[in-house]
């Protein structure tokens, strides 16, 4: 009897030990799966099994909010600890010490950023946690939708593309990633073919799709979106790095309102040294000017939140990086398939969202780094203009240089005999409103006079219109007669 009791006690003890220990082993193996340290250029953190405190790897316990939603702390503290212990080139998002040999043109030519440097930084490199301190305390719904991550690429560098994938898988809760879809937009680089497929065999969540011809960014994203199975689709560029706990804050907003399209804050990965930094001026939101130039402007004080780490609305998204409920994306009609290569798509989708009862938000607690290139490395087929997309008919001024650019000076005149001066373009018509007429004169409606010139005195000035006078004739290289005609008819 006593011996039987002893056996029972021993057995119970073993059971308890197993219960306490086995889940950790389970979690540990899960954790191991997510570190892809078998890539050749990886820098390892210190080895050894990490200490897991208790069973609650996620830290704080879940809380039930007033709305009845259970929320929890989604931070992966083990991953954070692991990242903190890493050292080496580019670790903690530090700038790589560039030598003169690293700065050669060749390093930038193919990608528009320094691929030599990228190749020497671990695919699993650590990043600084530059979120607002409040982000560390935030809880998000325990039940979040999963997402397909869609990454279009055209001739992307090997290490920059893989670092994007690694960072996503390393810094996202696995249950929230339905899949990662890499969509190849007809690249011709060798490393993006068989080698990429072979590499991805070890990452069962990653799928590779390929376009049959060069489609441009929009149709390539659409191909990925059409194949996606996740409840949410998240678009990223092919040269990004997801930062700590980036995904739950995005998905949480969509869980609350499926018509919210959410954007992470986009940090800057330097194209020379790969240093990771926030953009200048964080309390900014997306906007555009009358020439459809996207810019970030300060959030008006009345709209600023008491807690600057809370999501805020934005009229337009920046373009490349956002998450959207998959069904809602298609209800919106996806993207206009007529959009070429690059540019303008963010307006199209943003306007549709607002017009269809949705909203657009920037999420300060979600941060993703993006390499802003030095220049665009790829060819744009047929010379399709990049920012072609919108012009406003009433902004008919005469400006110097690239007509699409904002910071320009315009022809300006104040009266029928004043000199013609150059003044900052204000886009408000008035003194800067000109009409280019069939007789090649430049008419100034405000003063009812025309631009005249004196080649000998080398000046231009306003004068009474004199049709046929050679000194009042101006030749513009390219004009659209129909548009001009319509414009001149519409404005007196
Ligand atoms: N891209 C593409 N096809 C193209 C041009 C670009 O698939 O014809 C991809 C590119 O690899 C990147 C994304 O679309 O993942 C956005 O392009 P890019 O990074 O050049 O734009 P930027 O960030 O410079 O605005
Ligand atoms: Mn990009």
The domain tally of the chain equals 3
Under 8 Å between Cβ of 312 and 362: yes
72 has a pLDDT exceeding 80: yes
Least confident of 120-129, 188-197, 410-419: 410-419
Give the residue ranges of DSSP H helices in 316-460: 326-331, 345-355
Chosen domain end from 45, 73, 101? 73
Q: In terms of domains, do 457 and 313 share one?
A: no
Distance between CA atoms of 19 and 31, rounded to whole angstroms?
A: 19
Q: In terms of domains, do 171 and 271 share one?
A: yes
CATH of the domain at 413: 2.80.10.50
CA end-to-end span of the chain: 110
Give me the chain's average pLDDT, please.
82
The per-residue pLDDT for range 367-383, each reduced to its tens digit, is 999 998 877 777 655 43
Of residues 52 and 248, more confidence is placed in 248
Give the Å distance between the CA of 258 and the centre of ligand 1.
27
The per-residue pLDDT for range 389-447, each reduced to its tens digit, is 333 333 456 766 555 555 567 888 888 888 888 887 777 778 888 888 888 888 998 89
Of residues 21 and 322, more confidence is placed in 322
Q: In terms of domains, do 154 and 299 share one?
A: yes
Provide the residue count of the chain.
Answer: 492
CATH of the domain at 280: 3.90.550.10
4 has a pLDDT exceeding 80: no
Q: In terms of domains, do 69 and 197 share one?
A: no
pTM of the complete model: 0.71
The answer as to whether 149 is a domain residue is yes
Residue 393: predicted pLDDT? 34
Q: In terms of domains, do 251 and 364 share one?
A: yes
Residue 282: predicted pLDDT? 62
Residue 342: predicted pLDDT? 57
Q: In terms of domains, do 444 and 345 share one?
A: no
The answer as to whether 472 is a domain residue is yes
For ligand 1, whether the C-beta of 184 sits within 6 Å is no
The answer as to whether 2 is a domain residue is no
Confidence of residue 45 (pLDDT cuts 50, 70, 90): very low
The answer as to whether 445 is a domain residue is yes
117 has a pLDDT exceeding 70: yes
For ligand 1, whether the C-beta of 216 sits within 6 Å is yes
Q: In terms of domains, do 416 and 317 share one?
A: no
For ligand 1, whether the C-beta of 237 sits within 6 Å is yes
41 has a pLDDT exceeding 70: no
Contacts of 155 (CB under 8 A, 6+ apart): 110, 111, 187, 188, 189, 192, 377, 378
Of residues 263 and 35, more confidence is placed in 263
* pLDDT average, residue stretch 454-473: 87
Under 8 Å between Cβ of 318 and 346: yes
240 has a pLDDT exceeding 60: yes
Q: In terms of domains, do 174 and 49 share one?
A: no
* Of 110, 208, 342, 384, best ligand 1 pocket probe by most atoms within 8 Å of the beta carbon: 342
Least confident of 216-230, 252-266, 278-292, 450-464: 278-292
Q: Provide the residue range defining the domain that includes 427.
A: 392-491
């Amino acid at each position: 009897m006593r011996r039987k009791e002893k056996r029972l006690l021993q057995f119970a003890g073993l059971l308890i030990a197993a219960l306490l220990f086995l889940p950790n082993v389970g979690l540990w193996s899960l954790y191991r799966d997510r570190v892809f340290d078998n890539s050749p250029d990886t820098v390892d953190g210190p080895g050894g099994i990490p200490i897991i405190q208790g069973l609650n790897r996620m830290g704080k316990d879940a809380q039930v909010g007033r709305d009845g939603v259970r929320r929890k702390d989604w931070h992966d503290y083990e991953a954070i600890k692991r990242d903190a212990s890493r050292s080496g080139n580019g670790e903690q998002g530090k700038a790589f010490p560039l030598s003169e040999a690293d700065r050669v043109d060749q390093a930038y030519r193919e990608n528009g950023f320094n691929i030599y440097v990228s190749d020497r930084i671990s695919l699993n490199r650590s990043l600084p946690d530059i979120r607002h301190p409040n982000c560390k305390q935030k809880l998000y719904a325990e039940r979040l939708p999963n997402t397909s991550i869609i990454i279009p690429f055209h001739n992307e560098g090997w290490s920059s593309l893989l670092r994007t994938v690694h960072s996503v898988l390393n810094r996202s809760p696995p249950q929230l990633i339905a899949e990662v879809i890499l969509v190849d937009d007809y690249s011709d680089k060798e490393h993006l073919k068989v080698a990429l497929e072979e590499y991805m065999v070890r990452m069962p969540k990653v799928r590779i799709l390929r376009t049959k011809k060069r489609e441009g960014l929009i149709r390539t994203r659409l191909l990925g979106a059409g194949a996606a199975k996740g409840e949410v689709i998240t678009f990223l560029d092919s040269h990004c790095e997801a930062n700590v706990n980036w995904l739950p804050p995005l998905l949480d907003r969509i869980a609350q309102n499926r018509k919210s399209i959410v954007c992470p804050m986009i940090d800057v990965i330097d194209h020379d040294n790969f240093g990771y930094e926030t953009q200048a001026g964080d309390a900014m939101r997306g906007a555009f000017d009358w020439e459809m130039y996207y810019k970030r402007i300060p959030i008006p004080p009345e709209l600023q939140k008491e807690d600057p780490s809370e999501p805020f609305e934005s009229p337009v998204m920046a373009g490349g990086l956002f998450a959207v409920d998959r069904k809602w994306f298609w209800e919106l009609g996806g993207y206009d398939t007529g959009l070429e290569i690059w540019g303008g798509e963010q307006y199209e989708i943003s306007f549709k969202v607002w017009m269809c009862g949705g909203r657009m938000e920037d999420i300060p607690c979600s941060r993703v780094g993006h390499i802003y290139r030095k220049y665009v490395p790829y060819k744009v087929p047929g010379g399709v203009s990049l920012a072609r997309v919108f012009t406003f008919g009433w902004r008919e001024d005469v400006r110097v240089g690239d007509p699409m650019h904002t910071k320009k000076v315009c022809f300006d005149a104040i009266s029928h005999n004043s000199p013609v001066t150059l003044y900052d373009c204000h886009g408000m018509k008035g003194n800067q409103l000109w009409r280019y007429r069939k007789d090649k004169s430049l008419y100034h409606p405000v003063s009812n006079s025309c631009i005249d010139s004196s080649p000998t005195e080398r000046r231009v000035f306003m004068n009474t219109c004199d049709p046929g006078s050679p000194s009042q004739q101006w030749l513009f290289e390219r004009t659209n007669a129909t548009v001009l005609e319509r414009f001149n008819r519409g404005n007196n």
